[in-house]
């Protein structure tokens, strides 16, 4: 509807997947990125394992975080 301020749903980063993302994968390539440069991929339940394994196989540091209902990362503590 025109004029609605609702954000678009976050979708999985796997090629050709349009499913709603439920996971956030924060990663970096240590050969070209400093520790403060973090990239983000989003994943649906079906592709979280594939994307995580793709990055882990290459030795990239990564963190997997569940997304909240609002689309942000769910973090415990401060």
Domain extent listing, the chain: 23-66
Instruction: Work out the burial of residue 25: count CB atoms within 10 Å of its CB; fewer than 13 is exposed, 13-18 middle, 19 or more buried.
Output: buried
pLDDT in tens, the chain (78 residues): 566 666 788 999 999 999 999 999 999 999 998 999 999 999 999 999 999 999 999 999 999 999 976 556 555 433
Contact 14, 55 (CB under 8 A): no
| Predicted local confidence at residue 57, as pLDDT | 98
Strands ordered across the beta sheet of 62-66: 39-43, 23-27, 62-66
| Predicted local confidence at residue 29, as pLDDT | 96
| Predicted local confidence at residue 7, as pLDDT | 73
The rounded distance, in Å, linking the Cα atoms of 19 and 11 is 5
């Amino acid at each position: 509807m025109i004029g609605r301020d609702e954000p678009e749903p976050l979708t999985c980063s796997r090629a050709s997947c349009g499913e709603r993302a439920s996971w956030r994968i924060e990663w970096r390539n240590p050969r070209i990125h400093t520790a403060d440069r973090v990239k983000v991929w989003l994943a649906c339940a079906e592709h979280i394992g594939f994307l995580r394994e793709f990055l882990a196989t290459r030795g990239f540091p990564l963190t997997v975080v569940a997304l909240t209902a609002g689309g942000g990362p769910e973090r415990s503590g401060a």
